[in-house]
Structure 1
Amino acid sequence: MKYWFRGIKLLLLSLCTLILVVACNSSTPQLQSSETPENVASNCRVIQHDGGEINICGQPQKVVALSPPLLDILLSLGVQPAGYAEVDLLNSKVFDNPSQQIPFLGDRVTSKPVNLGDRHNPSIETLVQLKPDLILGEKFQLESKYRLFSSIAPTAFFDTGGKTGWKSAMEAIAQGLNREAQAKQAIASHDQLLETVKSQLAPVISGQTIIVLGWQKVTNESFIFAPDFVTGLLEDLGFQVIVGKSNRPSVSIEAIANIKADHILVMPSGDNTIEDAKQQWQNHPILRLIPAVQAEKIYFMDYQLTRIRGPIAAEIFINQIRQLLQS
């Protein structure tokens, strides 16, 4: 029994220490040497986000992204992250080789952001030690994490889902970072790329249907994409997209075979790879007889793009689908 009480005592002491550290490190953007309190006060912006609003004064120097969509947006605005939380855990304190450690976005990261761990459970201790000026996260983190994160630094959470969720999030973040011009340019570049590729692919896409599958090997755990980032881009390009339900119920091989779609986009998820998925479709006696497969109108892309779902991911997706359809 005494060991049980000792364990409880140590746990309480640890919690108290964390609370004190958070309180002591609660911060706002730091003043630069050329700034005065009067100048900063006149340079405050109220930022609306899914948790309400925050007041940002001066220019944040240490900005943290708690998931891939927020990193995508920061990089599109020309801002390098001070800290980052990825999908897959990294056994390193910092992203010291980002081009290899951060899929699709790492070659644009010139800083060595602190590794904050899993996006679903970022390290509070590491955040406190980093002392960020601004924390950016996603809406799903709002209910359980907002009060804790905002005790460390000004925190804004955004819904980056849906077809264009990243646009509204980018505009709000750009306001807080004094990067409105960069946001307008990124959105304009995205819209222009869409129109260009849509025109190029019109002869191939016009009147054609497509289905997008989250593919977890040859099991009954795969699903049809509901309306979201990827299906929205395909619609913008001119496809008629066959969509599933928002709760992504599992769909059987037999059900997939009965869906009448001119094109199939397979996005391997979990530990499945594109090369493995191709083999699974080629070797399966039912899948390989699907008309779209027989017509060589089946394509494979990395599922990670759906997790990033920002302007950079959109550009990569659009260019990849153009290449696949024109090959």
Structure 2
Amino acid sequence: MATVVQSLCLGLLVGALTLACSHSVVNRPETPTDGCELIDHEGGKTEICGQPQTIVAIGPNGLELLLALDVQPIGYADYYALPFTDFDQPQSQIPYLGERLTGPLKKVGTWDSPSIEAIVQLKPDLIVGSALANQAQYSLLSQAAPTLLLAYGVEDEWQTQLRQLAKVLGRSEKAEQVIADHTQRVAATRKQLRPYVQNYPQVLVLASEQVEQAIALENSDSRCGGLLEDLGFELLAPDQIGTAGPGRNNISLELLPQLKSDWIFLLAWSTDFSNVETEIEQQQIAAVQKQWRENGIAQSLPASKTNQVYFHSAYVCRALPGPIGTELILEQLQADLLPPVNPTQ
């Protein structure tokens, strides 16, 4: 997605920021003032004074880490342009993370186009943003409040970021508990899935919005691909692409029959939110699921014939690379691959 700053309002916003903010962190000191700390992050160095209480999260990966630390923000910008004026009922409005929110949030634009004006009105004392999407707005955001930009934390990077946020928020003990729980959860799932891994070791991890137009092959550098490898599965890819390098590569639909996968993990997404009453998981996968079932090449694959193609929202794998996203993925895999538990046994 292209980063957008609304140029028509830029001059007005700069003026508003100058008047509305009691502090400015654009000209950052080399050493912190008394009672403050300089925090290194992807955007540079930011001075944090005291323990932030009112926080704006730009992007689901930042919100995920805050919620993992039991911190409730006051404003939020999602990855998608969700069709809500504000998140007054976040439990049903914000994908996957909403059920962990205890109160309403102010909507402050989107991940790659946050509303500086809306953020200023909230008077936050910390903004958690994305290095991938918010570098262009960093100067303006920093005038609204001290701003930390986080990298997209695949593998163990999210743990570093969680510890960094926890230090700022006075929740270091909670961060260590979250990391320990994550490690234990992955190990337990690896053990549970071992029989399935032994019988069906080879997996294709695919992602698509339009099956016949474009399919991406996710590899070990992607969030879900790396997690499946950690669980013992072997990721498949054509020789000319391989399973290392960038997290995903486009692949021709016609190449899939060459890859004799035991099963397929298919990540789907949709930017059509015209029916906001639909449950988010089903809304995200419905179109791709239909396209797959109507495509002759897709249906010729062994995994399709044995009903071992599992559809899930790409949002979880791509937007939530931390502990909550991992927990959701592991729950999905257990539901997909393990035999149902008979409560009478």
- TM-score of the two chains, using structure 2 as the length reference: 0.82
Query: Are the aligned partners of 2:61 and 2:322 in contact in 1 as well (CA < 8 Å)?
Result: yes
Residue pairs, 1:146-161, within 5 angstroms:
146-161=138-153
Q: CA deviation at 1:89?
A: 2.1
183-192 or 155-164: bigger deviation: 155-164
Q: CA deviation at 1:296?
A: 2.6
Q: How many residues align?
A: 307
Q: CA deviation at 1:143?
A: 3.1
Instruction: Report if aligned partners of 2:218, 2:249 keep a CA contact under 8 Å in 1.
Output: no
Secondary structure of 1:140's match?
coil
CA contact (8 A) 2:218 2:247 kept: no
Supply the distance in 2 between the matched residues of 1:68 and 1:13 (Cα, whole angstroms): 27
Of 283, 290, 297, the residue aligned with 2:294 is 283
Q: SS of the counterpart of 2:133?
A: helix
Q: 2:19 aligns with which of 17, 24, 31?
A: 24
Matches of 1:196 and 1:234, distance apart in 2: 14
Matched, 1:232 2:238: no
Task: Tell me the alpha carbon deviations over residues 202-229 of structure 1, each in whole angstroms, 9 at most, x when there is no partner.
Answer: 1111471212111223313111114221
Stretches of structure 2 that go unaligned for 5 or more consecutive residues are 1-5, 25-32, 237-242, 272-282, 340-345
Amino acid at match of 1:251: I
Write out the 4+ residue segments of structure 1 that deviate beyond 6 Å after TM superposition. none
Could you say which residue in structure 2 is the equivalent of 1:218? 211
**What is the CA-CA distance between 1:14 and the residue it aligns to?**
5.5
Q: Which amino acid aligns with 1:260?
A: K
When residues 247 and 181 of structure 1 are mapped into structure 2, their CA distance, relative to the original with a 3 A threshold, is closer
Counterparts of 2:337 and 2:113, CA distance in 1: 39
SS of alignment partner, residue 144 of structure 1: coil
> Residue 72 of structure 1 contacts residue 308 of structure 1 at CA under 8 Å; is this kept in 2?
yes
Spell out the pairing of 1:52-91 with structure 2 (5 A cutoff). Answer: 52-91=44-83
- Matched residue of 1:246: which SS? coil
Q: Contact (CA 8 Å) 1:27, 1:133: kept in 2 or not? A: no
Indicate the residue corresponding to 2:267 in structure 1.
267
Corresponding letter in the other structure for 2:329: F
Distance 1:18 1:284, change over 3 A: closer
TM-score if structure 1 supplies the norm length?
A: 0.86
Q: What corresponds to 1:321 in structure 2?
A: 333
The change in CA–CA distance for 1:245 and 1:12 in structure 2 (over 3 A counts) is closer
Match of 1:292 in 2: 303
- TM-superposition CA deviations, 1:10-46 (whole Å, max 9, x none): x9996443222111223469xxxxxxxxxxx765333
Relative distance call for 1:74 and 1:273 in structure 2 (3 A) is closer
In the alignment, which residue of structure 2 is the partner of 1:256?
256
**Alpha-carbon distance between aligned partners in 2 of 1:280 and 1:92, rounded to the nearest angstrom:** 28
Per the TM alignment, residue 244 of structure 1 is displaced from its structure 2 partner at its CA by 7.0
Distance change >3 Å, CA 17–CA 216, structure 1 → 2:
closer
- Does residue 204 (structure 1) correspond to residue 196 (structure 2)? The answer is yes
Residues 64 and 83, structure 1, Cα contact 8 Å, conserved in 2: yes
Where in structure 1 are there 5+ consecutive unaligned residues?
Answer: 1-10, 30-40
User: Partner of 1:187 in structure 2?
Assistant: 179
Moved more, 244-253 or 311-320: 244-253
Higher deviation after alignment, 317-326 or 232-241:
232-241
RMSD: 2.5
SS in 1 for 2:203: strand
Q: How much does 1:92 deviate?
A: 4.0
Between structures 1 and 2, the one with greater helix share? 1
How much identity, in percent, do the aligned residues show?
34
Question: Deviation string for 1:157-185 (max 9, x for gaps)?
Answer: 11124223321111111111111111111
C-alpha separation in 2, matches of 1:211 and 1:262: 8
Q: Which moved more, 1:192-201 or 1:17-26?
A: 17-26
